[in-house]
Structure 1
Amino acid sequence: MSKQIVRPYGDTTGDGMVQVSFTLPVGHDKRAEGAAVQLANKMGIDPAMVVHAKPMGDGFTFFVVYGRVNHLVDLNVVQVVERDFALLSAKDVNTVIKQRLRRKLSVVGACIGTDAHTVGIDAILNVKGIAGEKGLEYYRELKVTNMGAQVSVPELVETARAERADAVLVSQVVTQRDAHLHNTREMSAAFREAMPAGRRPLLIVGGPRFDETMTDELGVDRIFGRGTTPGEVASYLVHALITKRKAMA
């Protein structure tokens, strides 16, 4: 397989120009701008130019730096999680569930920990959905329980048990100090402790900062990243809970 080498594009093809932003814990002055350039140089950006600097409260400055890198990327060695299931229409999802499961598929969703950002979970679960695509509440054969924000892990486990959840969907937007990772590990550990493997619901997490390759490390079945649609989630539920299990039976 031949290499597919690419470099960043700025003004002309292959010029290696990139733009990065960061905050330094120093007040805005010439020394702070010099520190930003030095940091950019150590990141491999050389020459580097501060194109934007703005004070961010007492003792902090936000920078945007523009410059050239010499790094190359081989597209053939990039590792990503490819979709391994068919995308189904809402009608097809309902038909498969009705014919093969012969009951409604129960889904429980929540934002756990101190995360109060419900935009993501609501976009997937609520009828209004996102970008013109209906959420899971629209699917006739899905029973959806949206617990909202700042749900504790014990509450989530208890609700999943009470609703006989086939799948648990958790959205995590707050990522300071890797809170999304800690919360997800706590959740998966709690479900493993509370329920035997054969009765445990499918554990699915989503959010803009998740690495989709970390399912095993976090103890979940699937991670969805930016741009995920309700239709993708519904199709995955059918694949993982019905199609795949039927093929393994």
Structure 2
Amino acid sequence: MIVRPYGDTTGDGMVQVSFTLPVPHDRRAEGAALQLAGKMGLDPAMVVHAKQMGTGFTFFVVYGRVSHLVDTDRVTVVERDFPLLAAKDVNAAVRSRLRRKLVVVGACIGTDAHTVGIDAILNIKGVAGEKGLEYYRELRVVNLGAQVPVPDLVRAAGAEKADAVLVSQVVTQRDAHLHNTREMSAAFREAFPAARRPLLVVGGPRFDEAMTGELGVDRIFGRGTTPREVASYLVHALIERKKAA
């Protein structure tokens, strides 16, 4: 199906974008914003909001029309390739197939101090009406918290005999989330033989779920992920790994 952005009327192509330019707010700055919008394909475009942000920076909101079309039949996404289980089914699968508790170690690594994401998945209170992984009787959860150095995470995973390591990354300036994830995956591959390496799972709002191979992890979860999805994936992946062993 071919679609175009919707603003005031169906298919009118109207979009709204925001950005910051390193210039003080004046008429010339607004002209620069419109020039940038034109280069982005917005025609006509108008500045609907402009505000100086500190010294020498201006934040803009620009509204305009694009002529581009999108073919939804050519959109590729990472589909969920595992069954979504209820908590009781996760517990039953762990008992019957793994025959021991499934150990999960979670953390925010590097300088990332934003624990809201990892806590939503791990803590019993959970998110969006779903209990976190601590609620699952057959899972043992170790939450290391924020700003955990990668070597400390590797040591903790080894000491706890972790089946899976969950890492949340919210800070994305200068692609910090990508650099930290690559560092983590390299460290685990150096510290563990392939057969004993924990599942490496990362999550955050700015990750591309198709980058698992490039980042060296087993799974990437994006925004809106729930504890149930993570628990279901862990059970599925570990059972599949056990079958292949």
Name the structure 2 match of 1:120: 117
* Structure 2 residue 96 is the aligned partner of structure 1 residue 111: no
Residue equivalent to 1:245: 241
CA distance in 2, matches of 1:247, 1:7: 46
**Aligned counterpart for 1:207 among listed residues 197, 200, 204:** 204
- The counterpart of 2:147, out of the listed 146, 150, 154, is 150
Superposition pairs for residues 214-225 of structure 1, below 5 Å?
214-225=211-222
Shift of 1:79: 1.1
CA distance in 2, matches of 1:132, 1:213: 28
The aligned residue for residue 188 of structure 1 is 185
After superposition, what is the alpha-carbon deviation per residue over 1:62-84, rounded to whole angstroms, capped at 9, x for unaligned?
Answer: 00000000111111111110001
Partner of 2:223: 226
Amino acid at match of 2:198: P
Partner residue of 2:49?
Answer: 52
Match of 1:168 among 162, 165, 168: 165
Of the three residues 156, 163, 171, the one matched with 1:159 is 156
Deviations 1:9-29, CA, capped at 9 Å, x for gaps: 001111000000000000111
Deviation string 1:154-181 (CA, Å, 9 cap, x unpaired) is 0000000000000000000000000000
Scaled by the length of structure 1, the TM-score of the pair is 0.97
Secondary structure of 2:231's aligned partner: helix
Post-superposition offset of 1:132: 1.5
| Secondary structure in structure 1 of the residue aligned to 2:165 | strand
C-alpha distance in 1 between matches for 2:129 and 2:196 = 35
Alpha-carbon offset, residue 92 of structure 1:
0.4
Per the alignment, residue 127 of structure 2 pairs with 130
Q: TM-score, normalised by structure 2?
A: 0.99
Aligned to 2:25: 28
For residues 160 and 36 of structure 1, what CA distance do their matches in structure 2 show? 49
Match of 1:178 among 175, 180, 187: 175
Give ranges in structure 2 of 5+ residues lacking alignment: none
1:87 aligns with 2:78: no
Residue 245 of structure 1 and its aligned partner are, at CA, apart by: 3.1
Task: Figure out how many residues of one structure are paired with residues of the other and give that number.
Answer: 245
Taking only aligned residues, the RMSD between alpha carbons, in angstroms, comes to 0.8
- In the alignment, the residues of structure 2 paired with residue 83 and residue 206 of structure 1 have an alpha-carbon distance, to the nearest angstrom, of 15
The separation in 2 between residues aligned to 1:11 and 1:123, in whole angstroms, is 37
* Corresponding residue SS for 2:195: helix
